Structure 1
Amino acid sequence: MSAHSSSASPPFVLLHGGRHGGWCWKHVAAALRQKGLVVHAPTLTGLGERSHLLNPGIGLDVHVQDLVATFEFEDIQDAVLVAHSYGGIVASGAMERIADRVRRIVFLDAHLPRTGESHCDMVGPARAAEHIAMAERGGEGWYIPPSDASWYGVTDPDDAAWVNSRTTAQPLKTYQDPVGNTDRAWTHLGMFIECVPSSLQPHILERARKRHAEDPAFPYRLLHATHDAMVTAPEAVTELLLEAMNP
């Protein structure tokens, strides 16, 4: 089935960001399912409920393969692929292999890398150095410990407790590995949702803003919510994702 299929009810694939897992989409997934939509919320290797698999050898290529395998083994076609934060790098790399199965790719306050860029490149040298320091301090030099929910803009006590009980460590290697070819991510039907205020540095968002300015098929939306908008503003996120169903 073509990525440009006119099917009114595409499946959704919701990809989490760094140190999160499929669990973070709980409220958004439930809202989409209540509308009769099929939703997949995979968790990347070594994170979330798969944290028992954490090891130094997990790199970006493993996470890209995780997403590709989800599409292949679940036989997903004509999907709306939604990527949050670090998940944007994973999704961009995977698009070289799954673009024909994707109706639209949505970047929710997510990284939109060019070919060969890493997460460290995207966040800049100062933040990349912080990640290395975090790994040295509390991650045996190779993994980044969880950050408090407040880093993601989650301040409600109940939500913060929920997030803090589920975020897990992530291999530093996944942040340092360069992504492969991302040409198909940059030319595919897409949407960028910027959360305001965002945890992402302004220079990262400039890439998406530039694409929006040059590509009429790439809408840019502002969402007045914090970085973990799927937790803090699930209704608003769901509304935008329903908009993305119809290119």
Structure 2
Amino acid sequence: MSAAPNSAHPPFVLLHGGRHGGWCWKRVASALRQAGHMVYTPTLTGLGERSHLLNPDIGLDVHVQDLVATFEFEDIEDAVLVAHSYGGMVACGAMERISDRVRRIVFLDAHLPRTGESHSDLVGPTRAAEHVAMAERGGEGWYIPPSDASWYGVTDPDDAAWVNSRTTSQPLKTYQDPVGGTERAWSHPGMFIECVPSSLQPHILERARKRHAEDPAFPYRLLHATHDAMVTAPEAVTELLLEATTGG
């Protein structure tokens, strides 16, 4: 079914972060559909319900192609693309090929790389080394095992059990690979939502705040919620995403 342009109810493409899957958007996706929007929640190769495909060769380029293919095979146009956390790496890389299909890109506590940067570059050497150590300890040297839901700020027992039952391992290569061009992502109309307190490194937030100060098409919003806000504060996330359909 083609997602034809609809100025009042554009489709949403909700992209998850590291070690998550499309499942994490369940509550937000339901609310957006109730508001009249088509919603797509792709899962990147090797994660979530596609975890049976996990292998050492999965890199950032595979995940970029996953997102591009979603737009192409679903005929998605005029969409609001929402990227969470690591998903910002994927979305920025994919925008070089899908920017003409995207109305607005929303970064939900997400990484905002420049051309040639990797996730490891953005998190810094200490955290990058921790990822390598996690892979060495419990991931055969090439994948990062899941972290407890509390790492993402999920503390409600029922929510934590749900998240812990669905998070999966992340190929280390996806964090170490440099992204290709990101110029279109940086020049495209967008919005940045910082979850307070954010799990992102300060310089990531400084980038987004600087762009907001210089670019009126790039509003910056604070959301008093945990990093996994789509799980812990779905109503507030939905409200901000609906705001993004009209320019923020």
The whole-number CA distance in structure 1 between the counterparts of 2:118 and 2:206 is 16
Aligned residues: CA RMSD = 0.8
Shift of 1:59: 0.2
What is residue 96 of structure 2 aligned with on the other side? 96
**What is the DSSP-based 3-state SS (H/G/I as helix, E as strand, rest coil) of the residue aligned with 1:151?**
helix
What is residue 135 of structure 2 aligned with on the other side? 135
Letter in 2 for 1:240: L
Taking only the aligned residue pairs, the percentage that are identical comes to 89
Moved more, 70-79 or 5-14: 5-14
Shift of 1:222: 0.2
**What is the DSSP-based 3-state SS (H/G/I as helix, E as strand, rest coil) of the residue aligned with 1:192?**
strand
Matched-pair contact (CA < 8 Å) for 1:95–1:182: yes
What is residue 19 of structure 2 aligned with on the other side? 19
What is residue 73 of structure 1 aligned with on the other side? 73
Deviations, residues 176-222 of structure 1 (Å, cap 9, x unaligned): 00000000000000000000011111121111111111101100000
What is residue 62 of structure 1 aligned with on the other side? 62
Letter in 2 for 1:80: V
Letter in 2 for 1:81: L
The whole-number CA distance in structure 1 between the counterparts of 2:170 and 2:6 is 38
What is residue 164 of structure 1 aligned with on the other side? 164
2:177 equivalent to 1:180 = no
What is residue 210 of structure 2 aligned with on the other side? 210
TM-score (norm 2): 0.97
What is residue 50 of structure 1 aligned with on the other side? 50
**What is the DSSP-based 3-state SS (H/G/I as helix, E as strand, rest coil) of the residue aligned with 1:13?**
strand
Letter in 2 for 1:150: S
What is residue 126 of structure 1 aligned with on the other side? 126
What is residue 84 of structure 2 aligned with on the other side? 84
**What is the DSSP-based 3-state SS (H/G/I as helix, E as strand, rest coil) of the residue aligned with 1:83?**
strand
Letter in 1 for 2:58: I
What is residue 245 of structure 1 aligned with on the other side? 245
What is residue 227 of structure 1 aligned with on the other side? 227
Moved more, 195-204 or 165-174: 195-204
Matched-pair contact (CA < 8 Å) for 1:192–1:219: yes
The whole-number CA distance in structure 1 between the counterparts of 2:179 and 2:82 is 18
Shift of 1:80: 0.1
The number of residue pairs the alignment matches comes to 243
What is residue 155 of structure 1 aligned with on the other side? 155
Which residues of structure 1 form unaligned runs of 5+?
none
Matched-pair contact (CA < 8 Å) for 1:64–1:93: yes
Shift of 1:6: 7.2
The whole-number CA distance in structure 1 between the counterparts of 2:107 and 2:35 is 22
Matched-pair contact (CA < 8 Å) for 1:80–1:245: yes
Shift of 1:36: 1.4
**What is the DSSP-based 3-state SS (H/G/I as helix, E as strand, rest coil) of the residue aligned with 1:81?**
strand
Q: 1:6 to 1:12 in 2, by over 3 A?
A: closer
Moved more, 17-26 or 197-206: 197-206
Letter in 1 for 2:109: D
The whole-number CA distance in structure 1 between the counterparts of 2:112 and 2:130 is 21
Letter in 1 for 2:130: E
**What is the DSSP-based 3-state SS (H/G/I as helix, E as strand, rest coil) of the residue aligned with 2:113?**
coil
Deviating beyond 6 angstroms after TM superposition, the runs of 4 or more aligned structure 1 residues are none
What is residue 117 of structure 2 aligned with on the other side? 117
Matched-pair contact (CA < 8 Å) for 1:11–1:39: yes
